[in-house]
């Protein structure tokens, strides 16, 4: 299985920590968060990875090359203008040359999720993507039916809902974990523009009768490393349990 890491973000929530370096190279336990993620993906047998870069892109590329690409095949998709998640994946479409599903992972996410279980669940119910989700209070939610089929999206802050698929039963809120397995067939459903989010593309899939599934991973440990406080919490967690990623 191939993988893509989203590492193009500006890291604005990290303030001074990303003034002279990209978010993906901010340290977690004295090691860049990107390195933690790469080693984790390599440990499950992934040998082909593409990373999208924008903010201090040269520093990310230099870091990976200095590590001899960690002994695997690592490519880069350089975004001179940020393309959002959907646009970023669309630009890297050439990397996914087979019919096999691929993993897409945010660089600023640390988790103990069993990726093999996520992949196994992907194969159980035909869908264009399997999104790792969890029960967590946030400002934006994905809405799923009782069979964990995606039905819509909600922004609590904006008091806005988009529900392309109407269901008789009440829909359940889950937060997205920044991890997903995607079928290469998804590229057939992408809009004819350069910048868009994957959620936008998924909602379009639903409108056309397609299916996107969710995988409830609430039981596994997970951290969003987007702020200095959350990085400290993740480090405290790892130190307390004396566990590697």
Q: How far apart are CA 197 and CA 228, in angstroms?
A: 25
Sign of CA dihedral 219, 220, 226, 229: positive
Give the angle 139-190-131 at the CA atoms, nearest 5°: 45
pTM value?
0.95
Predicted confidence pLDDT, tens digits, the chain (245 residues): 999 999 999 888 888 889 899 999 999 998 999 999 999 999 999 999 999 999 999 999 999 999 999 999 999 999 999 999 999 999 999 999 899 999 999 999 999 999 999 999 999 989 999 999 999 999 999 999 999 999 999 999 999 999 998 767 789 999 999 999 999 999 999 999 999 999 999 999 999 999 999 999 999 999 999 999 999 999 999 888 765 55
Sign of the torsion angle spanned by Cα atoms 28, 50, 195, 161: negative
DSSP 144-173: E-TT-BEEEEEETTTTEEE-SS--SSPPEE
Domains of the chain, CATH where assigned:
1-112+222-245 (3.90.550.10), 128-220 (3.90.550.10)
- Give the pair of three-digit tokens for residue 84: 């959002």
């Amino acid at each position: 299985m191939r993988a893509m890491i989203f590492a193009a973000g500006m890291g604005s929530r990290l303030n001074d920590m990303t003034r002279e370096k990209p978010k993906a190279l901010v340290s977690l336990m004295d090691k860049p968060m990107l390195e933690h993620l790469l080693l984790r993906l390599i440990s499950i047998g992934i040998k082909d990875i593409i990373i999208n870069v924008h903010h201090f892109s040269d520093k990310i590329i230099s870091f990976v090359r200095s590590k001899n690409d960690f002994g695997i095949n690592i490519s880069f998709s350089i975004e001179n203008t940020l393309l959002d998640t959907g646009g970023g994946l669309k630009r890297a479409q050439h990397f996914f040359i087979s019919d096999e599903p691929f993993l897409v992972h945010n660089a600023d996410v640390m988790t103990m999720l069993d990726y093999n279980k996520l992949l196994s669940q992907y194969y159980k119910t035909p869908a264009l993507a399997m999104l790792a989700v969890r029960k967590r209070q946030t400002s934006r939610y994905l809405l799923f039916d009782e069979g964990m089929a995606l039905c819509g999206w909600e922004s609590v802050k904006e008091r806005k809902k988009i529900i392309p698929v109407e269901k008789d039963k009440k829909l359940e809120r889950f937060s997205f974990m920044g991890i997903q397995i995607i079928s290469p067939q998804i590229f057939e459903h992408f809009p004819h523009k350069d910048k868009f989010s994957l959620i936008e593309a998924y909602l379009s899939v639903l409108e056309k009768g397609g299916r996107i599934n969710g995988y409830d991973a609430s039981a596994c440990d997970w951290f969003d490393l987007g702020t200095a406080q959350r990085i400290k919490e993740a480090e405290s967690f790892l130190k307390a349990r004396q566990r590697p990623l």
